[in-house]
Amino acid sequence: MIGIIPEAVLLIPLVFAKPRQHLERLGHRMAVTFLLFGVISIVNALLLLVVIVSLVHGHEPNGSQLMFKSLIVWITNTITFGLWFWSIDRGGPARRLGPNPPPPDFLFPQVSDSTLATPGWHSGLFDYMYVSSTNSIAFTPSDTMPLTHLAKFLMLSEAIVSAFTILFVFARAVDIFT
């Protein structure tokens, strides 16, 4: 539970209107957004490392506590990277819908084959959350390919944290129950 508190506090500037409007006026909103996502990602990876170190040294909690901790790490990882993907692709949600958006960071099937989508289809937050969820379970992209180094780095980072969470921590929690 304590691992959630720092991450929740870091999201406050992104949620409330006043800090967000102030950052937009200064032109720093995207930089602060990326900084906060980066801090959340690092804190989450450090929380996972602490749990793994405690397992290695034999200070493991009971199975339900360990399962809860691994679930929190995995969910935080999945949501954070879904927001990362949504924020970087084609310059972010606003630029993506504007005239002349930058090249895509992710290739959705609906973009590569227009017969798969309704006319005027644009990727939304749910699409990026789906990409993040499938990447965090399969440790690989499912139907949406990363095109840029940044997108590939983010997907790799998410897959590494997810793999360690599922393969070490969650598996140990299941082992405790059996």
Taken as a whole, the chain contains a residue count of 178
Predicted local distance difference test score (pLDDT) of residue 103: 93
As a whole number of Å, the end-to-end CA separation of the chain is: 25
In contact, 40 and 72? CB cutoff 8 Å? no
Predicted local distance difference test score (pLDDT) of residue 86: 93
The total number of structural domains in the chain stands at 1
Which tokens go with 44? 């989450």
Q: How confident is the model at residue 106 (pLDDT cuts 50, 70, 90)?
A: very high
Residues contacting 51, CB < 8 A, separation 6+: 66, 69, 70, 73, 169
Q: How confident is the model at residue 149 (pLDDT cuts 50, 70, 90)?
A: very high
Higher pLDDT, 133 or 92: 133
In contact, 68 and 31? CB cutoff 8 Å? no
What percent of the chain has a predicted confidence (pLDDT) above 90?
34
Which tokens go with 102? 């930058």
Report CA-CA distances (Å) from 139 to 31, 154, 155. Answer: 27, 12, 8
Higher pLDDT, 19 or 63: 63
b/e for 34-65, b at 16 or more Cβ within 10 A?
Answer: eebbeebbebbbebbeebbeebeeeebeeeee
Domain housing 38: 4-94+102-177
- How many C-beta atoms lie closer than 10 Å to residue 165's C-beta? 28
Q: Which residues pair with 106 in a beta bridge?
A: 146
Highest mean pLDDT among 15-24, 135-144, 168-177: 135-144
